Amino acid sequence: DTAVSQTPKYLVTQMGNDKSIKCEQNLGHDTMYWYKQDSKKFLKIMFSYNNKELIINETVPNRFSPKSPDKAHLNLHINSLELGDSAVYFCASSQGRSPGELFFGEGSRLTVL
């Protein structure tokens, strides 16, 4: 069983569209994250949720809206996609608010044309 799973793995869309990426973890962790990895492979945190509560929101445009229906799921919705949104988005989870060992999904590669 995959510990942290993301869907879709690949997403190609036009500028201006709205898209969502879903993430689920079956590790029983209480904290989930979204990270963005840009074309230079630099990994940077976007959001973090602990028990469905938003605890980190890193200077991310309002077009990005995370939603956590329960502590096992964290989805990312992006409105009005722009070319600069093209990246790989990684979901991760850990136990506790201050991350110990982090478990990552395989990433969702978003390409905006």
Residues that bind other proteins (CB under 8 A): 4, 33, 40-45, 48, 55-56, 58, 90, 92, 97-107
| C-beta of 43 vs 113, nearer to other proteins | 43
| C-beta of 10 vs 82, nearer to other proteins | 10
Minimum Å distance from CB 108 to other proteins? 10
Q: Are 107 and 89 in contact (CB under 8 A)?
A: yes
| C-beta of 69 vs 100, nearer to other proteins | 100
Minimum Å distance from CB 45 to other proteins? 5
What the block records as the tokens of 111 is: 């390409």
Rounded Cα gap, residues 97 and 55, in angstroms: 8
List of residues 6+ apart from 73 with CB closer than 8 A:
22, 23, 24, 25, 32
Minimum Å distance from CB 65 to other proteins? 19
Rounded Cα gap, residues 66 and 63, in angstroms: 10
What the block records as the tokens of 76 is: 């990312």
Minimum Å distance from CB 80 to other proteins? 26
| C-beta of 49 vs 85, nearer to other proteins | 49
Residue at token pair 């229906």:
69
